[in-house]
Amino acid sequence: RGKKAFIAGVADDNGYGWAIAKSLAAAGAQILVGTWVPALNIFENSLRRGKFDDSRVLPDGSLMEIVKIYPLDAVYDNPEDAPEDVKSNKRYAGSSNWTVQEVAESVKQDFGSIDILVHSLANGPEVSKPLLETSRKGYLAALSASSYSYVSLLKHFLPIMNPGKLLKNQPLCFFSFCRSGGSSISLTYIASEKIIPGYGGGMSSAKAALESDTRVLAFEAGRKKRIRVNTISAGPLRSRAAKAIGFIDTMIEYSLTNAPLQKELSADEVGNAAAFLASPLASAITGAVIYVDNGLNAMGVGV
Ligand code: NAI
């Protein structure tokens, strides 16, 4: 009965995607996830073996249910796009229908429609290289995995997203998200607009593109189906992806020292902001970059 959310980019219980899934589940949504093909087996096995049970606990004591996990590689839009060596790679050959178009078709077949689309994925093979040392291939790969992947997901899911509804004199009902229409959220990082040395490989450019696209897509999806499109500029979190970049502890320390709120950011805080943005409480918010970073973005100098 609740709203249906498809969250792309969940492969463990440490990242923002997992936390967003939990907040949406706590608010009554049904959770579908898209998991990167190479990470699928280990994620499904860990989930089955109960490795994530502690982190599945919702505020009411029940466990978050993931209704279905779809293999996904958001770098490929349809089967013709995927090169033979990827298709025949043993990590991919065991799964099928993992291109964006096929995943959207599978979700349509299984569930008919969705209400909430979340993009919580990024990849930049040369992220540890300064921009001046980044190859064209590395730069374009960062944009493909981290920015165009969102355009593609929204493009393919939009036809099955329930249109936004006009809310007139409705009682606010946050917990089941009743009566509000579809909306979409992605995750970005302040390196798009301010210099963050260490966030290289074109990843800063990819986030700038994602934020600009958020505005244009808000217009297009808003006019087409009254769907809202927002992005959360999140503070640093020790996720798997962030640990791979190599400077996450420094960033967390920097934030603790300099942000208006001196506390470590928890993934749940980003999850809750996402639930708010997906709810009717945010019915007039679209095309926005919302900071969930303990206020660090507002500082002009370090203290
Ligand atoms: P994460 O490791 O939990 O999530 C990244 C996910 O992307 C992983 O599950 C990975 O398997 C998936 N992925 C990578 N390439 C993919 C592809 N081609 N197709 C499908 N899935 C793919 O890490 P995190 O940090 O939670 O990342 C989620 C989002 O949050 C990203 O957009 C990231 O840039 C953003 N973010 C993270 C911050 C941090 O400090 N951790 C700060 C600000 C934004």
Residue 177 confidence (pLDDT): 58
Residue 152 confidence (pLDDT): 98
CB 96 within 8 A of CB 169: no
CB 182 within 8 A of CB 162: yes
Number of the ligand 1 atom closest to the C-alpha atom of 75: 18
Torsion angles phi and psi, residue 114, rounded to 5 = -130, 170
Cα 302 to averaged position of ligand 1 atoms, centre (Å): 27
92 is catalytic: no
Number of the ligand 1 atom closest to the C-alpha atom of 207: 34
Residue 209 confidence (pLDDT): 99
Measured from the CB, is residue 237 less than 6 Å from ligand 1? yes
Classify residue 13 by its DSSP letter: S
Pocket test of ligand 1: the residue of 66, 121, 245, 290 to mutate, having most ligand atoms within 8 Å of its CB, is 121
DSSP per-residue codes, 233-255: EE-----HHHHHHS-HHHHHHHH
Per-residue pLDDT of the chain (303 residues; tens, 9 = 90+): 689 999 999 999 999 999 999 999 999 999 999 999 999 999 999 999 999 999 999 999 999 999 999 999 999 999 999 999 999 999 999 999 999 999 999 999 999 999 999 999 999 999 999 999 999 999 999 999 999 999 999 999 999 999 977 666 665 555 555 556 789 999 999 999 999 999 999 999 999 999 999 999 999 999 999 999 999 999 999 999 999 998 999 999 999 999 999 999 999 999 999 999 999 999 999 999 999 999 999 999 999
List the end-to-end C-alpha distance of the chain, in Å, as a whole number: 49
Residue 181 confidence (pLDDT): 75
Measured from the CB, is residue 39 less than 6 Å from ligand 1? yes
Residues 6+ apart with CB under 8 A from 29: 2, 3, 4, 5, 115, 116, 177, 278
Cα 101 to averaged position of ligand 1 atoms, centre (Å): 20
Q: Hey, what are 289's tokens?
A: 């970059």
Q: Hey, what are 271's tokens?
A: 């999850």
Residue 102 confidence (pLDDT): 98
Residue 179 confidence (pLDDT): 59
199 is catalytic: yes
Measured from the CB, is residue 87 less than 6 Å from ligand 1? no
Residue 165 confidence (pLDDT): 75
